[in-house]
Amino acid sequence: MDITDTQVRDYFNSFYTPIDDRLISFRQVGERGMVPIILKETESVLKMLLDMKKPEKILEIGTAIGYSSTFFALYCPEARIYTIEKDEYAHKAAVSNISKSALDDRVTLLMGDGQEQTEKLRDEGVDGFDFVFIDAAKSHYRRFLESAVTVCKPGAVLVSDNILMHGMTVTEDCDPRDKHKSNIRKMREYVEFICRDKRFHTTLFSVGDGLAVSIYMGKNE
C-alpha cells in the first residue's frame, strides 16, 4: 500500500510543538485567513538550521504579517532581525504583530522591494548577515538572493522557501490552466542557478513546499 504525502506530513506535524505561546494564536489567525506563513514542517527545519548556525543577524525578504520574523526573534533571542515586505497592508499588520509580541527592539521592519531595501541597507553600512530567509515573490528570487549576498558574511546560510510552488516547478500538470508559466520557468531557472553557482553549496529539500538551503562560500575570485 502506498503512503500519501498528506499522511506523511500529518504524521510529522503531529510532533510539532510551538516554541512560544505567542505563536499559537498567530498561526491560527494566519491559517484561517489563508495568509502565506511558514508551514509547520518548514518551521521545524528552520529550528534545526538556527540551532546549528546560531545567527547574530538575520535578513528576511518577505515579511507577510510577521509570523516568521516573530519566530526568528523568539527562537534567537540574541539575534537582530531585519525584515522586508512590499505589500503595504501586510507590512502594517506585521508592525502591529511585532509590537504586540514586544519584539520591536530587535526586529526592524522595512517596506518596499526586497532588492531595493537590501541594497539600501548595504549602502547604509548594515551588513554582516549570517542567515537569510527568502519567502517573497517567487519569480524574483534570483535578484533577491544576489542583493542579499552583498550584505552577507561568507558562511552565511540562505534559505529559499516554496521552491516547489505546490508541485508546479516539477510538472506543468500542477498548473492545468497555464496560469503560472512565467513563474514556473523563473523558479526552475533559479533552482538550476543556485545549484550550479560555485559561490554556494546548496541542498534541496522536499519538506513543506520545498526548501533550498545554501551556504554562501564568498565571492568567486
Q: How confident is the model at residue 172 (pLDDT cuts 50, 70, 90)?
A: confident
Model confidence over 75-96: pLDDT tens digits?
Answer: 999 999 999 999 999 999 999 9
Share of the chain above pLDDT 70, in %: 97
| Strand pairing category for 107-111 and 129-134 | unpaired
CATH superfamily of 48-216: Vaccinia Virus protein VP39 (3.40.50.150)
Q: Is 68 annotated as a binding residue?
A: yes
DSSP H helices in the chain: 5-13, 21-32, 40-53, 67-75, 88-100, 114-123, 141-148, 181-196
Hey, where are the domains in the chain? 48-216
Is 104 annotated as belonging to a binding site?
Answer: no
- In this predicted structure, the answer to whether residue 1 has a pLDDT above a threshold of 60 is no
**Predicted pLDDT at 40:** 92
Compute the distance between CA of residue 139 and CA of residue 162 in angstroms, rounded to an integer. Answer: 11
The arithmetic mean of pLDDT across residues 158-177, rounded, is 87
The pLDDT assigned to 2 comes to 60
Nearest of 143, 141, 144, 72 to residue 108 by alpha carbon: 72
Quote the pLDDT of residue 152. Answer: 97
Confidence (pLDDT) at 31: 81
- Residue 3's pLDDT is 60
User: What pLDDT does 178 receive?
Assistant: 75
33 or 141: which carries more pLDDT confidence? Answer: 141
- What is the pLDDT of the chain when averaged over all its residues? 92
What would the grid cell of residue 175 be?
A: 498548473
On the question of pLDDT at 197 being above 90, the answer is: yes
Q: What digits encode the pLDDT tens for the residues 9-67?
A: 889 889 988 898 888 888 888 888 788 889 999 999 999 999 999 999 999 999 999 99
Is 162 part of any known ligand binding site? yes
The more confidently predicted of residues 111 and 183 is 111
